[in-house]
Structure formats: structure tokens, C-alpha cells
Amino acid sequence: MKVILYFLLSISLLSCKSKDDSAAPNEYAAKFVKQLNPTDTFLFDFPVDKNGQYDSRTKHLLDEFDQQLGLPSLEKGFDSIQIRFGYSYEMDGTEKLVILKNDGKKWIAELSEVYVHFDPVKFKIDSSRITRKIAYRSPKSGWVKFINKLFDLKILTIEDNDKIPGFKPSYAMDGWGIGIELATKKAYRFYNYDNPDMYANRYWQAKNVIAIKDLLYHEFSILSKWDKEKEEKRKIRMAEKERQLNEESKSGKKVKIQEVNLKNPADTIVKSEQ
């Protein structure tokens, strides 16, 4: 009797794990895709430079990255939707690349760790030595709930940070950046955010971009222990810098901030003196 119960329980657990809604109809998400471009012309939206022209430097880097990884260009659209999400730290040798695509039949998630080799002699990235490790997973909450959350965060329509009215960038020596590229039958968009956590309290777009990154990390378990430690160190450092700047603002005195190396996230991040 115990053997039969165990057998039935095993089948039940396997059926739960094998539940797949990647091909389930989703009218809620389809509505967002249609609203992206309701016109009869093709929408092409790309970052611009200070002269209002398409940013050729960003365009070149994006094209070069696609070529090196063997990724087809999305500039002329995709049937039915594809979203590429890149996340990296400054001066670091790894980048996370998440590709979500629906071919009109079902959703697929392709998760990559991209390793970029830095040439210390030429002091630049060796483009001939880029490697990529790929895995395929399904979101923890299921495709329907996950995509709905993603679209609710306005991933399809958030503008590039430089296109936000009155936007003032913030810079960091150890910063990080997010690039999101997406395409449908009638639209192509790419937008980029550098150090969004430094101005998320001023712009809802930056706050949403961070939420999108966190959602991807949670749903696909792509945040490694190393990433967690680096994120924690950065959050502590940013909080301390903000505290120091607030003190300076209140007192009217200049506060010197000096960063120090860390042994663990609990270490003191900065030292200050007045």
C-alpha cells in the first residue's frame, strides 16, 4: 500500500513540475504588444546623441556584440515578439544576457553568461575572445504571470534615460548598466540605463528598470552568490554616499568620501572626514 501511495505521489509531483503554460493564450499581454505601435508604419526607436541623431557609438557596439555572439539583428522586427536584456558591471569580465522570445506559438527563455576577456597590454576588450554559456529555463511563477508582471512594468514603452525630460545622469567608477532591446512585427526599440539605482528616487523609469532586473533574477534564479555579494556591497556603498551628501547639504560643509576595499558585505564601505 505504501509503495502504491509513493508511486501516486511521485506522479503527482512530476505532473506539477512538468506543467508548462509557455503556449497558453494571453490576451492581456497581447493588448500591450498591439498598443506599442497601432499605426501602419514601422516604429524604430533608438538612443540619440547630443545632436539629436541616432547614437552611432551605441549602435556600433550593439551590432558588434550581436555579431560576436551570432545573434540575428532585430532592427527589422521579429515575429511575434523578442526581448533581449543585458546587464553588466563596469570594468568587469561578465555580462548576463536574457533572451525572451515568442514565435507565435510559445515562449522560450535563453539565459547566458557572457565572458569578455580584457587585454591588459592594449587595455581594451579582446573581441576575438568572447565566450558564452547558455541555459534554458521557465519562470518560477509561470509564463502568463511573469509576462504580465513584465509588461505591467512598462518594459515595452520605457524611454531611453537620455530621452527623459530634464534627465540628469549620475556616474560611478564601479557602475553598472542595463540595456533592453525588443522587437515585434511592427516595432523595434532599444534603451539603456546606466547606474539607475543612483536616480531611481527621481525618475519612475529608473525604478521600473531596476524592478525588471530584479524580476528576471527572481524568476530565473540567475543571481549567483558572487552577484549577490557585489550587489550588497554596492547598495551599502551607495547608501553611505547618500548619507554623507545629506549631511553635507544640512551642514553646508564639504564631506570628503574615500572608498576602501571590502572583505565582506558587512565591512565599512567608506570613511569620511570633515
Distance CA 146, CA 138 (A): 10
Q: What is the pLDDT of residues 181-205, one digit of tens each?
A: 999 999 999 999 988 888 888 899 9
Give CA separation, 215 vs 81, 169, 220, 221, in Å.
19, 24, 8, 10
- Confidence grade of residue 221 (pLDDT, cut at 50, 70, 90): confident
Percentage of the chain surpassing pLDDT 70? 72
Q: Is the pLDDT of residue 208 over 80?
A: yes
CB 230 within 8 A of CB 168: no
Please give the angle made by the CA atoms of 11, 13 and 15, to the nearest 5 degrees. Answer: 70
Predicted confidence (pLDDT) at residue 226 exceeds the cutoff of 90:
no
Judged by average pLDDT, the poorest of 38-52, 83-97, 133-147, 208-222 is 83-97
Query: Above 70 in pLDDT, residue 118?
Result: no
Torsion sign across C-alpha atoms 110, 79, 72, 123: negative
Nearest 10 degrees: Cα torsion 168, 174, 180, 181: 110
**Distance, CA of 207 to CA of 14 (rounded, Å):** 38
What is the pLDDT at residue 11?
A: 41
CB 196 within 8 A of CB 180: no
Long-range Cβ contacts of 120-129 (<8 Å, 24+ apart): 127/64, 127/68
Q: What pLDDT shows up at residue 227? A: 62
